[in-house]
Structure 1
Amino acid sequence: MTTTPRTWASGETPTGSTFNTEVRDQFNSMFDAWTPYTPTWSGATTNPVIGNGVLLGRYMKWGRTCQVRIDISMGSTTTYGSGGWSLSLPAAAHGSGAQLGLAHAFQSQRNAGQFNVSPGASVGLVFFPNSGTPANLAWASSAVPLTWASGGRLTVEMTYETAT
């Protein structure tokens, strides 16, 4: 519900209606339910297909700050595509500075990773440490950070600055 606050005139007395709109409703918007959205899950070469898995996204936006959560639960008919994965955001990122969030992979093991959003991007890329020394980051895919199968789960969470 966030809207641009009005400009008040010197000496103006607010009415109950304007006070409710300008103060109460703005404040209440911080306690609204999160907004669901369906992220697009893409592969650099061939796109994954969720099949009978579950792909959910939710976000809360205050001004130009957006908190987003994405959850992918792999099903028995999920296919994983080829090439590194990207996930769409509910709003494009601000045009300066890369922004980082958290990623978590779980199947037979748990892996902590990063969600990276480039300046002005409308998608983020998922990365996990590889097994080399040093453990550089590798782009998440059908076999990174693990060989995905039914029951696997990928979650992403981040707070980022939006373009608008």
Structure 2
Amino acid sequence: MTFAPKTWIVGETVTAALLNQEIRDQFNSMFDAWTTYTPTWTATTNPALGNGVLTGRYLKVGRTCLADIRLEMGSTTTYGSGAYAFSVPFAATSAVVDYLGTARLAAGASTWAGQAVMSAGSTVFSCTFPTSATDSRAASMTGAAPSTLAAGHILRAQIEYQTAN
């Protein structure tokens, strides 16, 4: 992970260790492997993962974070009620912008393309999809929209945002 660069002092002795830390390590951190995290899945009435699988990973360079989640519904997954939200590994900055990403729901024979949406200062994002196969307006994802969720359905979503720190 990148960090704030050193403030150099006039007359300071530059050593190999300092150069490695300030140049090599900073550069290498931009090409690090992704880091896994455990996202939370919430709603007005929270869903229960049961034997489903929810995984997350992120890559942070400076204050830019790219976060992915993958949610696979299981046979004992329950879907709660209300719009779904998924946690991100770092809070977003409170700058007055919203962040957008992509979302894809594979629901049986249907595939839904949508957006991941996160507000400034938030610690969660939600997914929006068309409200029906004939309506291109977007609505927040729930257990019944854009399709009634069932075992084997898979949601994949990614959001890029500026972190608070």
Q: TM-score, normalised by structure 1?
A: 0.94
Q: Does 1:116 align with 2:117?
A: yes
Aligned counterpart, 1:43: 43
**Gaps in structure 2 of 5+ consecutive residues:** none
Q: How does 1:4-153 map to 2 (within 5 A)?
A: 4-10=4-10, 12-44=12-44, 46-95=45-94, 96-108=96-108, 109-131=110-132, 135-153=136-154
Q: How does 1:148-163 map to 2 (within 5 A)?
A: 148-163=149-164
Task: Determine the C-alpha separation between the residues in 2 that align with 1:132 and 1:54.
Answer: 27
Task: Determine the C-alpha separation between the residues in 2 that align with 1:30 and 1:122.
Answer: 23
Task: Determine the C-alpha separation between the residues in 1 that align with 2:79 and 2:132.
Answer: 21
What percentage of residue pairs aligned between the two structures are identical? 50
Task: Determine the C-alpha separation between the residues in 2 that align with 1:72 and 1:155.
Answer: 7
Task: Determine the C-alpha separation between the residues in 2 that align with 1:40 and 1:22.
Answer: 35
**Gaps in structure 1 of 5+ consecutive residues:** none
Moved more, 64-73 or 129-138: 129-138
In the alignment, residue 102 of structure 1 is paired with which amino acid?
T
Alignment length, in residue pairs?
163
Q: Are the aligned partners of 2:92 and 2:164 in contact in 1 as well (CA < 8 Å)? A: yes
Q: 1:150 to 1:132 in 2, by over 3 A?
A: closer
User: 1:7 is paired with a residue of what secondary structure?
Assistant: coil
Q: Are the aligned partners of 2:117 and 2:159 in contact in 1 as well (CA < 8 Å)? A: no
- Cα deviation for residue 126 of structure 1 reads 1.1
CA RMSD of aligned residues (A): 1.5
Task: Determine the C-alpha separation between the residues in 2 that align with 1:76 and 1:18.
Answer: 54
Task: Determine the C-alpha separation between the residues in 2 that align with 1:102 and 1:134.
Answer: 19
Q: 1:17-47 CA deviation, whole Å, 9 max, x = no partner?
A: 1001111111111122211111110012x11
Q: TM-score, normalised by structure 2?
A: 0.93
User: 1:136 is paired with a residue of what secondary structure?
Assistant: strand
User: 1:127 is paired with a residue of what secondary structure?
Assistant: strand
